[in-house]
Amino acid sequence: MPEPLLVDVFCGPGHTAGNRLAVILDDPSGPVQRQRRAAELGYSETVFVDDGSAADIYTPSVRLPFAGHPLVGASWLLRHRLGSCEVLHPAAGAVPAWAEGGFGWVSGRPEWVTGRTTRQLASPAEVEALPGPPDGTGFLYVWAWTDEPAGSVRARAFPRRGDAIVEDEATGAAALRLTAELGRSLTVRQGAGSEIRTRLLPEGRIGVGGRVRQVRPDPQDARRTS
């Protein structure tokens, strides 16, 4: 069984914070076994990458057709290992991927992001003061402007799926959804100190990007330098 490679995605300046991601390459197991493994690992998301581009995404409790955090992290890791990664193929469709200015980027479509509700609060202080998930069910993305003219946002994400992930540190798909609703590019500070960038792209697509940091050493690093 392949060991997971660990990266932190959407790190803040100086590569602090970030959302931990497990990337598992070329695992022959099926959906039931993959869902069980994602639950055992316990990260907000685990992505299985097959044949260099097929991306199968799981939270501890559900399988996802699209998510920004695992696709940004997996594409960064594949570039690190293989020298390039131009596209990934989750269930939602083809996702272009690229690197730019120290950030890993992917692009997706707003219609791929379902089941997420955004809620604006009056100030960043109100966002930060929330003691936990507001009452209710379904994924909730709570946000407030920190600098509206500059497109800067403070946000927190509460999946409310009933699994162990009470609050998600950094969520690319929710940031994409908010970008589509507001119709403008954003810089989102989320969780304990993560940062997500978004941008409007042609043909209705939205880019989601951030810094990525490798956590667990990649066994191939030793082979490259030996």
The confidence band for 213, taking pLDDT boundaries of 50, 70 and 90, is very high
**In this structure, what token pair is assigned to residue 57?**
């995404």
- Mean confidence (pLDDT) of the chain: 94
pLDDT score of 222 more than 50? no
In the prediction, which pLDDT does 225 show?
34
Taking each helix axis from N to C terminus, what angle separates 172-182 and 68-82, rounded to the nearest 10 degrees? Answer: 120
The confidence band for 220, taking pLDDT boundaries of 50, 70 and 90, is low
Q: Could you give the C-alpha distances from 76 to 57, 71, 137, 142, 212, in angstroms and in order? A: 16, 8, 33, 28, 7
User: Phi/psi zone of residue 70: left (φ > 0), alpha (ψ -120 to 50 degrees), beta?
Assistant: alpha
In the prediction, which pLDDT does 223 show?
39
Summarised one tens digit per residue, pLDDT across range 102-143 is: 999 999 999 999 999 999 999 999 999 999 999 999 999 999
pLDDT score of 6 more than 60? yes
Q: Which residues, 6+ apart, have CB-to-CB distance to 53 below 8 Å?
A: 85, 87, 88, 89
pLDDT score of 15 more than 50? yes
Rounded to whole angstroms, the Cα distance separating 66 from 106 reads 11
Summarised one tens digit per residue, pLDDT across range 77-102 is: 999 998 889 999 999 999 999 999 99
In the prediction, which pLDDT does 16 show?
93
**pTM of the predicted structure, to 2 decimals:** 0.94
